[in-house]
Amino acid sequence: MNKYLLYRICSKPNAKPRMEGFSKLACLENLILTFPDYKMVCIADHCDDDTVALLKAKNFFYFESTQLGQVYSFYHLVHYALNNFQEEDIVYVIEDDYWHMPQASEVLEEGMHVFDYVTLYDHPDKYGGFVFGTNPYVCDEVLSEPTRVFKGKYALWRTTNSTTHSFACKVSTLRADRYIWLGKLKRRHILQDFYDWIFLTKPGFNGGHLRRKLILRQLVAFGAVLLGSKRRTLGVPIPSASAHLEIKFLPEGFDANILNKKND
């Protein structure tokens, strides 16, 4: 069994509110340091010449500079994994704006023994009363989404209904669910991580605010079960072992000054 990082980076700026000291290259160095036993596949999509030169110097397992855009660079990574890796290999699909805690690799591999998919990022929208981007499967009270708990050596784990497009799984799972990860259900112009996960995890209603469109999607997901589609488990550690470095979506307890401390 081999372990791979499926990493995408883009040097185009975006309007997300970032932490002071944020740098995608700093996130990359943190990723390499935290996952020393993983081989990295790097797709540099729409990166400037200076960034490409810096990335080429890293001597990755595989490197490619592309002009595919967000959706098709993701598909390109999935195709690469399915075409080149073995079924029992572990892949960690990771975007360019995440920071990882020191034991993140051990945490990830512990979760892989229990869940179909693992995310290291405990998104705050899974807890009641979250202000931004309310998750429709979470009630307005203080309690979290419905969940099941596993006590591991490195973390307390729980199931969750969704995450971003940064996740880990075996190649065999990625292959079985390729109709989701390669967008086969419909043509896409943007990635829709929430709807992908809802189809895979098929959460139950918990007093949130399900719009008609979401109810229809859930009915389709449960109909797929009748046709043989498996309900997948997605596990997340408590506390979070990574952070998406967008200010309003930092996980509980994350030190927002960690990048500046790193540079001190």
Residues 200-212 as b/e (b if ≥16 CB within 10 A, e otherwise) read bbbbeebebeeee
| Three-state DSSP state, 178 | helix
Task: Decide if 5 contacts 40 (C-beta within 8 A).
Answer: yes
Q: Which of 77, 11, 26 is nearest to 261 (CA)?
A: 26
Q: Which two tokens stand for residue 191?
A: 């990635």
**How high is the mean pLDDT of the chain?**
87
Confidence check: pLDDT of 130 > 70: no
Q: Mention every residue, 6+ apart, whose C-beta is less than 8 A from residue 96.
A: 7, 8, 9, 10, 24, 27, 28
Report pLDDT for 263.
Answer: 47
Between 103 and 139, whose confidence is greater?
103
Q: What's this model's pTM, rounded to 2 decimal places?
A: 0.90
Residues 15-50 as b/e (b if ≥16 CB within 10 A, e otherwise) read eeebbebbbbeebbebbeebbeebebbbbbbbbeee
Q: Which two tokens stand for residue 58?
A: 């890293």
**Residues 88-127: tens digit of each pLDDT:** 999 999 999 999 999 999 999 999 999 999 999 999 888 8
- Name all domains of the chain by residue range, CATH numbers in brackets: 3-248 (3.90.550)
Provide mean pLDDT across the span 190-204: 82
Report pLDDT for 208.
Answer: 57
**Residues 24-67: tens digit of each pLDDT:** 999 999 999 999 999 999 999 999 999 999 999 998 999 999 99
Q: Which of 4, 8, 10 is nearest to 81 (CA)?
A: 4
